[in-house]
Amino acid sequence: MPQAGRSVVFVDGVRTPFGKSGPKGLYADTRADDLVVKVIRELLRRNPNLPPEQIDEVAVAATTQIGDQGLTIGRTAGILAGLPVSVPGFSIDRMCAGAMTAATTVSAGIGVGAYDIAIAAGVEHMGRHPMGEGVDPNPRFVSEKLVDPEALLMGKTAENLHDKLPQLTKERADAYAVASQDKTAKAYADGKIQPDLVAVAVRGQDGAWGLATADEPPRPGTSVEGLGTLKTPFRPHGRVTAGNAAGLNDGATGAILAAEEVADELGLQKKMRLVSFAFAGVEPEIMGYGPVPATEKALAKAGLSIEDIGLFEINEAFAVQVLSMLDYYGIADDDPRVNPMGGAIAVGHPLASSGIRLMTYLARDFEDHPEVRYGLTSMCIGLGMGGTVIWENPHYTEGDNA
């Protein structure tokens, strides 16, 4: 693990604004690899002390690795972004946790001395590449009943989680979703989200060019009453709706990770320090419960308890998935430590890109809360997994209340 070797720091993270998928979305006429290129170039622009030739690796995640998300996108995006040809790259897939896995993979390499500095990124253009495009699941999954067929449909796994934990009602899920929208609107109003967005030139339906500068999915002013009228597409009289789940989205994220000693030598900023990370599996039919065992493993590896965690950035694939983790730890639905700037229900969840979006949010949270020493980023992962990364706040002031 990285903490047994060199200290690893999160230097910086950026993302494109997230768009709605489909022919009317922000990025309908934009290539997925071009979104990654934009992110890499922005990271270099924001960090002029980083010589591009000193980047040891580029790891780019995509869930659907075909078309403009294929061809070893970590290598091709690096070349397209203007990195020296000496900088290698690779692609990575862990469905929703692709960018998280890209970040932890290069961090582990840094920790053992294989790399000094690396870029981790993630992209998903769900408008061009719907989830599951081109896949051919082995028939044994169904014929030998290895998993329930519903395990391949994320919305149905969320309904199953409601079944498993009946205290997590639709009313609680809807209230949580409204809070996510409200917190996102406030974060935008306070200028908390915009600093980590890179503007992207986009072409509209009329052929005219414009600039994407803000997330497209948020719906400020959403009400519990309004969410109560939405259809439940995954089950008649169900509890999961388009209002209490993340939508289908397009977007890219990226981050620079480095050995702390190298960051100090180059004069790079240090926004977070990696403490531990863990991935864990659960029954695929209740995919959304994955963050619970992943968090337990990450806490154990760090020698910490949940009481040590002062800030939480949890991916909101579904409201019920976040609530299941909060319930397990006895944390209130509206605890201010949880997703203080809102989450994926409002801004969107372009699958493989979201892990680094969580990290950039936590880095901002840390700046606002020097009294907090530890925070975590966590998410559920398709096919029954969860991932959690624990971070230390470099702005922490000894003696403040953690």
Residue 129 designated active-site = no
With CA atoms as reference, report the closest residue to 231 among 221, 218, 245.
245
Rounded CA separation 11/276 (Å): 17
Q: Is 349 a catalytic residue?
A: yes
Q: Which of 125, 129, 162, 349 is catalytic?
A: 349
Q: What HEC string does 15-76 produce? A: ECCCEECCCCCCCCCCCHHHHHHHHHHHHHHHCCCCCHHHCCEEEEECCCCCHHHCCCHHHH
Q: At what angle do helices 319-328 and 154-164 cross, to 10 degrees?
A: 40
Query: Which pairing describes strands 249-259 and 8-15: parallel, antiparallel, or unpaired?
Result: antiparallel
Catalytic pick among 96, 125, 129, 369: 96
Q: Where are the alpha helices (DSSP H) in 71-230?
A: 73-80, 98-111, 140-143, 154-164, 170-189, 224-227
Which residue has tokens 């995640």? 61
| Active-site position among 125, 129, 162, 380 | 380
Beta pairing partners, 375: 311, 391
Known catalytic membership, residue 162: no
Active site residues: 96, 349, 380
